[in-house]
Amino acid sequence: MPSITPKPVRAEVQEAGHTDLGRRIAARRKELGLTRQQVGSRSGVDAGFIAYLEEHSAAPGSGSLVRIADALGTTVAELTGATTEQPPGQGPASRDSELVALSEAECRHLLSTHGIGRVAVFTRDGPVIFPVNYVVAGSEIAFRTSWESLLAGAAGARVAFEVDHIDDAMEQGWSVLAVGEAAGVTDEQAIRRLNATARSLPWAGGDRRYWMSVVPSRITGRRVVHR
């Protein structure tokens, strides 16, 4: 019987996040700055199994999944995507929580870590809020839209940009608000720079190639913490 030489495993199979569960585990682990070994030590689950979950299609037992979720400071529902269609913040409030103001440096740091924000503009029909993919380039907050959109019509007007993060598992969260004048980006060099900086195309799809930017004249932020 002729021998069969196994095919080499392609590099992309080794990348973290081969399944939705694996992607969520890997994303949460990296968000916390943890290694697989550290997650394994916290959860009592072998680090090799953590790697397998991140890289391959697997269905861990409920006990292992609960321990992994606990080690990552989240819930099984969050890891499995059960809360995907639910708005954040449905968890109970902590009795010892309080709201604290963030410094401008903290606000700018938090702005630079996220990719989805909301732009509030005034139109003839009243205020409207648009969710957008955004990037931070220097002192500017930039996002793409279509040339014919209501958002594009806000060029030259004062707008508000907001980004936030809610952690239901820990009953914590923060928000940052930036206010400034919106402007259309027309300089070709600036457009190339923003295209290179953008992590992905706009999630909404379509012909959204018109870059707009906001240079904040005021930035404020708040965080919910436990005393």
Span(s) in the chain for CATH 2.30.110.10:
97-226
Domain 97-226 has CATH 2.30.110.10: yes
- Say whether pTM exceeds 0.75: no
Total length of the chain: 227
Instruction: Say how far apart CA 73 and CA 43 lie, in whole Å.
Output: 11
Cα-Cα-Cα-Cα dihedral sign, residues 212, 118, 116, 95: positive
Span(s) in the chain for CATH 1.10.260.40:
13-80
Class of domain 13-80: mainly alpha
Return the axis-axis angle of helices 20-31 and 47-55, rounded to nearest 10°: 120
> Per-residue pLDDT averaged across 206-227, rounded?
92
For residue range 79-124, what is the model confidence (pLDDT) as tens digits?
887 766 666 666 666 677 888 999 999 999 999 887 899 999 998 8
